[in-house]
Amino acid sequence: MTQAEHETNSWPGIAGRMALVTGASSGLGSHFAKVLAVQGAHVVAAARRIDRVEALCADLRDQGHQATPLALDVSSADAVAGALRGQVFDLVVNNAGVSHSCAALDLDADTLDQVIDTNVKGVFHVARATAAAMRDAGRGGSIVNIASILGSRVSGHVAAYAASKGAVLQLTRALALEWARHGIRVNALSPGYIETELNRDFFATDKGQALIGRVPQRRLGQPQDLDGALLLLLSDMGRFMTGVDIAVDGGHLVSSL
Ligand SMILES: NC(=O)c1ccc[n+]([C@@H]2O[C@H](COP(=O)([O-])OP(=O)(O)OC[C@H]3O[C@@H](n4cnc5c(N)ncnc54)[C@H](OP(=O)(O)O)[C@@H]3O)[C@@H](O)[C@H]2O)c1
């Protein structure tokens, strides 16, 4: 969908709301921040590389949208509590995440810690801090955790990542159960292989092309392919949805075993 189409097709419950997007300094998070800003949300774009989220927000404001940068390290509970103190969000996209690629026998403890601290504890720290503020303000909200199809199936050399995304799916269900009484919905979005600046070179290699050949739709996803699921889960169109996971993967999860 083009930006013009987004502007003319607004999703209920997004415009005028406060939206937090973590990991907004690159890739999918940067894209999600733009999508929500174009839909009329006031976006707080968070990441550790503050220069990158400042540049993103300056661009968005130049285009007439509302956007504020925030320095945030999701892996530290104290840092999250400090950075989010006093702010109430209606919409939260828990997108910050790190990956790794090495055989499980070579996976060192520091890498394992980094993946779990960011992908699992980070999602929890941000979800808990934002949900507590929603509850205290008495106004509910919608949280979307960005998981992965590797949370449901496995592949080689991504043991910690796959385990972390599986944990995100279970965390999503557990939080949805506990927080429905506060009007807070918690859902997951599991992308398949989506082309970003970080993986573009890999997917051009023979190995990358072979991987694309195993996707039933025979192509990589583009960040825009995630917009429908993201907006459905965040907006009032998804008001009776909580605790679910939507995979957007060109059929990769149902590929032949
Ligand atoms: N691209 C795909 O094909 C794909 C597929 C399935 C799932 N996903 C998931 O989608 C999300 C975004 O992935 P991506 O492809 O866009 O990757 P990316 O370009 O590497 O972006 C990752 C983002 O996470 C942020 N981040 C990492 N550690 C952080 C921390 N401790 N605190 C705060 N922010 C942190 C990074 O910002 P700073 O370094 O500036 O902090 C960056 O903005 C991840 O959760 C990933 O697992 C991606």
List the domain range (segments joined by +) for residue 206: 14-246
Best residue among 22, 98, 117, 224 to mutate for probing ligand 1, ranked by most atoms within 8 Å of CB? 98
Q: Cα of 165 to ligand 1 centre, how many Å?
A: 12
Q: Cα of 99 to ligand 1 centre, how many Å?
A: 8
Q: Is residue 5 in some structural domain?
A: no
User: What's the token pair of residue 122?
Assistant: 């980070």
User: What's the token pair of residue 25?
Assistant: 């300094």
CATH of the domain at 129: 3.40.50.720
pLDDT (tens digit, 9 = 90+) per residue, 103-112?
999 999 999 9
Question: Catalytic residue at 161?
Answer: yes
Q: Cα of 119 to ligand 1 centre, how many Å?
A: 9
The partner residues of 186 in beta bridges, in order of sequence, read 143
Q: Is residue 6 in some structural domain?
A: no
Q: Is residue 157 in some structural domain?
A: yes
Q: Is residue 9 in some structural domain?
A: no
Give yes or no for a contact between 193 and 211, defined as CB atoms under 8 angstroms apart.
yes
Q: Is residue 256 in some structural domain?
A: no
User: What's the token pair of residue 68?
Assistant: 């504020």
Q: Is residue 175 in some structural domain?
A: yes
Residue reference for tokens 């209606």: 90
The structural domain count of the chain equals 1
Per-residue confidence (pLDDT) for residue 9, from 0 to 100? 75
- Catalytic-role residue among 11, 32, 161, 193: 161
- Dihedral of CA atoms 63, 68, 72, 77 in degrees, nearest 10, equals -130
Q: Is residue 252 in some structural domain?
A: no
Q: Is residue 7 in some structural domain?
A: no
Report the run of H or E that residue 191 belongs to, with start and end.
strand 184-191
User: What's the token pair of residue 101?
Assistant: 């690629």
Q: Cα of 135 to ligand 1 centre, how many Å?
A: 27
Within 10 angstroms of residue 144's Cβ, the number of other Cβ atoms is 26
pLDDT (tens digit, 9 = 90+) per residue, 203-216?
999 999 999 999 99
Best residue among 48, 114, 253 to mutate for probing ligand 1, ranked by most atoms within 8 Å of CB? 48
Give yes or no for a contact between 32 and 21, defined as CB atoms under 8 angstroms apart.
yes
Per-residue confidence (pLDDT) for residue 8, from 0 to 100? 57
Judged by DSSP in three states, 21 sits in: strand
Best residue among 21, 22, 25, 124 to mutate for probing ligand 1, ranked by most atoms within 8 Å of CB? 25
Q: Measure the CA–CA gap between 123 and 166, rounded to whole angstroms.
A: 12
C-alpha of 4 from chain center: 23
Within 10 angstroms of residue 227's Cβ, the number of other Cβ atoms is 21
Nearest residue (CA) to ligand 1, atom 2: 194
Using CB distances shorter than 6 Å, the residues near ligand 1 are: 22-23, 25-29, 47-49, 72-75, 95-99, 118, 122, 146, 148, 191, 193-194, 196, 198
Give yes or no for a contact between 254 and 216, defined as CB atoms under 8 angstroms apart.
yes
Residue ranges of the chain whose pLDDT lies below 50: none
Q: Measure the CA–CA gap between 230 and 147, rounded to whole angstroms.
A: 12
Angle, CA 18 vertex, CA 124 and CA 233 arms, to 5°:
60
Q: Which of 210, 208, 237 is nearest to 101 (CA)?
A: 208
Q: Cα of 181 to ligand 1 centre, how many Å?
A: 30
